[in-house]
Homo-oligomer: A and B are copies of this chain.
Amino acid sequence: MSSSKSPDKAADPSSPTAIPPRERIVSSAADLFRKFGIRGIGVDAIAEAAQTNKMTLYRKFGSKDELLCATLRQVTQRAGAIWDELERDFAGDAAAQLKRWVEFQVDRLEQEPGGCDLANAAVELRDSDHPAHAVVQEFKNSQRNRLAAVCEAAGSSNPELLADTLSLLLEGARVSVQTSGPEGSSRRFRESCEATIAAFHRSRV
């Protein structure tokens, strides 16, 4: 995540030139897609929110679909950073990593009531040929495998099944947030995760 090129320009945070247009567009697009849905927001509004215009947007990204993929890829990078953080803060202690993973996701549930941008995009774009679907599928797969690795390192019986279960719980919680609000969902997710982890820790299921 190297962002600063240290230009000798004015570092005024309010100045639109502080951040290059491309990043502003991706950032604004992610924001508006999240708020209104992919089909619910137009490229004009995205460009305006990024303090630029439609022409520049189309010069950076050939189409709205391409812009969408770029925003999703950015989301995957941000979300994927958790594993590095886990390894950094709890190196070697996989059980602690698993516990922290749950808490991290609980925080996300409470702070991001819009659910998972990737999953939401997949739901909204029913056409499975859409290029965004590949981004989503690859991400979900990698997240599950990373989780399975942690589960295995934590000495769980049947780490694959535990990872599957926790993945489903998370996926379910992130959509429940959108149907039933974040209040109960995060609590239920946490309690379900703790019970599940305990069960897989105790028995030979």
Contact = CB atoms under 8 A, between A and B. Distances in A.
Interface of A: 34-37, 39-40, 114-115, 118-120, 122-127, 133, 136-137, 140-141, 158, 161, 164-165, 167-173, 175-176, 178-180, 188-189, 191-192, 195-196, 198-200, 202-203, 205
Contacts of A198: 205
Would you call the interface of chain A mostly helix, strand, loop, or mixed?
helix
Contact of A171 (B37, B158, B167, B171): B171
B195 A165 contact: yes
A11 to B, nearest CB: 34
Contacts of A133: 179
Contacts of A170: 172
A144 B85 CA distance: 35
Contacts of A191: 161, 164
Contacts of A203: 199, 202-203
A168 B189 contact: yes
A172 B168 contact: yes
A179 B39 contact: no
A63 B136 CA distance: 33
A119 B205 contact: no
A157 to B, nearest CB: 10
Contacts of A136: 179
A161 B195 contact: yes
Given A191-B164, A192-B168, A40 B40 contact: no
B178 A123 contact: yes
Nearest to A195: B205
